[in-house]
Structure 1
């Protein structure tokens, strides 16, 4: 028990620190320091209130504890003999670290899409996912604002990952960090993609902050996390998403919408 409490304390402190530092930096820049100069980037014109931020931070603190527990389980001594986690970084070529990180994000994207759709089932939505959707106008603090059962499901991807491919703890740490940064961007409430992104092939593949913001606004469609791929394959992308992105682009750059 003492070993678990010690491991939990470390994992929880790392998770909650990641939340407050990364979400806090984005919140500081976009909501406190430069809200007027970045007003053109704002996706929804209205603003979330202080009570929304407090609610999100409280739920995120609980979620951080649940995510810490799932990480401990994934790396536990009892589970280690059955997983593909390796500790000698030279056991595989060093290039495997970034490659396995990319593959982990792809696995997570598929995992999240289907988990997210399941949570939107009418029998589960009010029980769990409604907590996250109370943030109809998300901010960086929304990133971990989950019901504790949803937080466990969210963290479950770590357990899946250690069984499907060889992963070094460094890769798992980079995965947790990069996935959270992308998560914060998705809930930012501001669009920051560069001007040329709209006409690049990446626009057809990669999600934007507008993409996920539209999900919070409309509640249905746009279930994907990193990519548009699953939504396009399953025909669940909101039909007005591209139009909404073009509206933001015109708002930001003052140019006509692409035809």
Structure 2
């Protein structure tokens, strides 16, 4: 029992450190060090308050505990035998260590879209999702700022993933870090995508910081997490998204002779 608690708190410590490093560094850089130079890239010119940041960090710690508990249940309890989680790094080809996280991201995006739309139902929104939307002008700290119910529904995707996708701890780590970095970018409050992205096929597929920021400011539309695909298929992409994105990128272009 003591060993189990030690493992749990070790994972919790690592997850907490990851949150403060991967969310904290962008926050320090964009909200303190180079605010003036990057002003043109700010999606909403106003800033959230210190109270907003404190609320977001507090609830992110709650979410971190929930996510840690789910990971612990999958990897370190008898629940593991009902999953495809594997320990031997050579149990599958080494290339699967990267293929697994890619599949996990695709599954997660689909799961998130439909879960997210469900949480926007008027009978569920104020109980589970309103807390996240108190951050109408999100920052990196917003990334894990969920109500306990939403944290559980968000974390449940990991159970689904390991039931259908063979995952080693290395793959899980790659998936978790990649997902969180993208999440931080979506909540950054600044559009830092390279200007050349607009004229590529990739732009038609992936989300941007503007994309998710509009969801926070408008409350409707742009429900996807990583990709635009489900929003475009279901007609839920905000009609002003491309116009807003182009306007902010034009601001950046005009403000920075080096085109960033």
TM-score normalised by structure 2 residue count: 0.96
1:174 aligns with 2:210: no
Measured against aligned partners, the alpha-carbon deviations of 1:122-141 in whole angstroms (never above 9, x if no partner) come to 11110010000000000000
Report the 3-state secondary structure (helix = DSSP H, G, I; strand = E; otherwise coil) of the residue aligned with 2:53. Answer: helix
Corresponding residue of 2:125: 125
Corresponding position of 1:59: 59
Check 1:148–1:4 CA distance in 2 against 1; reply closer, same or farther (3 A cut). farther
Q: Which residue of 2 aligns with 1:229?
A: 229
1:210-233 deviation digits (Å, cap 9, x = unpaired): 000000000000000000001001
Would you say the 8 A contact 1:73–1:159 is kept in 2? no
| C-alpha contact (below 8 Å) 2:187/2:209 kept by paired residues | yes
Task: Say which SS state the counterpart of residue 76 (structure 2) adopts.
Answer: coil
Deviations 1:164-201 (A, max 9, x none): 01111110111111100000000000001111100100
In terms of mean alpha carbon deviation, does 211-220 or 144-153 score higher?
144-153
Corresponding residue for residue 109 of structure 1: 109
8 Å contact from structure 1 (residues 43, 190) kept in 2:
yes
Q: Is the 8 A contact 2:12 2:64 kept in 1?
A: yes
Q: Is it true that 1:49 corresponds to 2:52 in the alignment?
A: no
Q: CA deviation at 1:153?
A: 1.0
Residue in 2 that maps onto 1:40? 40
Cα distance between partner residues in 2 of 1:10 and 1:113: 31
The alignment status of 1:149 with 2:149, answered yes or no, reads yes
Quote the Cα distance in structure 1 between the aligned partners of 2:161 and 2:126: 28
How many Å apart are 1:3 and its aligned residue?
4.0
Tell me if structure 1 keeps the 8 A contact 2:215–2:222.
yes
Q: How many residues align?
A: 255
Deviation (angstroms), 1:71:
1.0
Q: How far apart in 2 are the matches of 1:74 and 1:254?
A: 50
Distance in 2 separating the partners of 1:129 and 1:122:
10
For residue 71 of structure 2, what is the aligned residue in structure 1? 71
Q: Secondary structure at the match of 2:174?
A: helix
Provide TM-score, normalisation by structure 1: 0.96
Q: Tell me the CA shift for residue 118 of structure 1.
A: 0.8
5+ unaligned residues in a row in structure 2: which ranges?
Answer: 256-260
The match for 2:5 is 5
Of 7-16 and 121-130, more deviation after overlay is shown by: 7-16
Look up the match of 1:162.
162
Matching residue of 2:135: 135
Query: How many Å separate the matches in 2 of 1:3 and 1:78?
Result: 16
Provide Cα deviations, 1:92-119, integer angstroms capped at 9, x if missing partner: 1111111111111001101111111111
Q: Cα RMSD (Å) of the superposition?
A: 1.1
